[in-house]
Amino acid sequence: MKVIADLHIHGPYSRATSKDITLQNLERHARTKGLSLLGTGDFTHPEWIKQIRQGLKEDGSGVLKTPSGFSFILSTEISSIYSQGGKVRRVHNIILAPDIETVEQINSWLLTKGRLDYDGRPTFGFSCPELVESLMGISDKILVIPAHVWTPWFSVFGSNSGFNSIEECYQDQTRHIYAIETGLSSDPAMNWRLSQLDRFAIVSFSDAHSMWPWRIGREATIFDLHKLDYNHLFRALKTREGLVETLEFFPEEGKYHYDGHRDCGVSMEPREAIRQRNICPVCRKPLTIGVLHRVEELADRPVGHRPEGAKPFRSVIPLSEIIAFMLKSQPSSRSVWEDYNKLINAFGSELGVLLDAEEAQLKNLAGKGIAGMILRVRTGQVKMKPGFDGVYGEIADKDPEKIVSPQKSLSDFGRK
């Protein structure tokens, strides 16, 4: 059974999220996107878990269903801020749980550590090893996945608060970590450059703070499961058996790909940042060191290395962003959504358009310009203006001959 999953999203009670998020809206937009499985997000929040209980039905499989049959897995994200090795560490972890009874036990334990009602993604002062050990004491069916592992501020490898290895972060509890999430600013090829990551499944999810199709499912993981239940999903994430591929942002489009300083509008690739001693040339404050730079610091393999058994991936750009770029408009504009809905109605889902629609059909429905850009995205023939310091990257121009990718533009980084 093919399953396209986005297991890292947020509900309406997390900071900086849409208050229009409901289970019904999530289902509707997930179906539009072409997803078949969503994480609930934020099961730690008392109001959101109440809505989950009311709106989803358990059947013993670990997959909860809406009245119309759409599938959810219980998920949340927890932030840990603590001191280790003389440094303040800030790490986010995705938590997947097999049933509501287990969620209740998780929430009861968390309530001994602090409040849950102030934010859908709560923050605690315990370390990552303590988190994992305590969760394993509740159930060994709980999955802990380090979230967006490279982002500068809140991740395992973050340049401002992270570690240099998974083992340094999780210590003896590393044995319970089976998968890592790439985040928007890195892709599997960048992660393949670290031999220490070969033992982990690489997954991608959206970390969406709204249910709109240009956010939800913007990254996803595709599984081939004998049965859609929690046990088969758990096995796929633990062993990689049944994990088919991931759908990724072009990493340049992520908010932290390059080094930079947003307040001064300064963005630069790692080599230039090093020449500047990682200092902003405008205000002389430290630059935010991006994901590409951090990968280069820790990599022990050359660009282009692919480990044995590595799962494939495809890079995508949300359809509304492609159409908006070609129309020189905004993704939320009426003209964009007219073209968007026309393609969705023809091909069934956004991922159906982006991944599978045939060239002749695309040109007939969308015109040569939009169709051509969709096809160029499929083959990586897109020039991107890289994101930096919290600013999303974006499509730079329409020239199919111009390509920017970490594999090509930085093949000689640090090796001269």
Domain positions in the chain are 2-253, 318-378
380 neighbors 189 (Cβ within 8 angstroms)? no
Give the residue ranges of DSSP H helices in 117-161: 128-138
Give the residue ranges of DSSP H helices in 164-223: 166-170, 188-191
Lookup result for tokens 């790692």: 270
Other Cβ atoms closer than 10 A to 126: 16
Taking residues 341-354, what's their average pLDDT? 96
Q: Which CATH architecture has domain 2-253?
A: Alpha-Beta Barrel (3.20)
Beta pairing partners, 268: 259
Q: How far apart are CA 151 and CA 160, in angstroms?
A: 9
401 vs 363, higher pLDDT: 363
Q: How far apart are CA 262 and CA 268, in angstroms?
A: 11
Per-residue pLDDT of 76-122, as tens digits, reads: 999 999 999 999 999 999 999 999 999 999 999 999 999 999 999 99
Taking residues 330-348, what's their average pLDDT? 94
Other Cβ atoms closer than 10 A to 108: 10
Answer yes or no: pTM beyond 0.85: yes
Q: How far apart are CA 122 and CA 115, in angstroms?
A: 8
CA-CA-CA-CA dihedral for 255, 258, 259, 264, to nearest 10? -60
Query: Could you tell me how far CA 188 lies from the centroid of its own chain?
Result: 12
Taking residues 2-14, what's their average pLDDT? 97
How far apart, in Å, are the Cα atoms of 402 and each of 55, 221, 228, 414, 416? 48, 28, 41, 24, 25
Q: Are strands 37-39 and 394-397 parallel, antiparallel or unpaired?
A: unpaired
Q: How far apart are CA 144 and CA 10, in angstroms?
A: 16
Instruction: Report residue 397's pLDDT band, with 50, 70 and 90 as the boundaries.
Output: low
Instruction: Report residue 37's pLDDT band, with 50, 70 and 90 as the boundaries.
Output: very high
3-state secondary structure of 373: helix
**CA neighbor of 84 nearest in space, from 118, 121, 131:** 131
Tokens of 335: 């003209």
Other Cβ atoms closer than 10 A to 207: 23
Lookup result for tokens 């709560």: 122
Instruction: Report residue 406's pLDDT band, with 50, 70 and 90 as the boundaries.
Output: very low
240 neighbors 309 (Cβ within 8 angstroms)? yes
132 vs 332, higher pLDDT: 132
Instruction: Report residue 178's pLDDT band, with 50, 70 and 90 as the boundaries.
Output: very high
Question: 343: alpha, beta or left, given left = phi > 0 and alpha = psi -120 to 50?
Answer: alpha
pLDDT over 70, % of the chain? 95
73 neighbors 40 (Cβ within 8 angstroms)? yes
Tokens of 408: 């090509």
Q: How far apart are CA 39 and CA 96, in angstroms?
A: 8
Per-residue pLDDT of 283-327, as tens digits, reads: 999 999 999 999 999 999 999 999 999 999 999 999 999 999 999
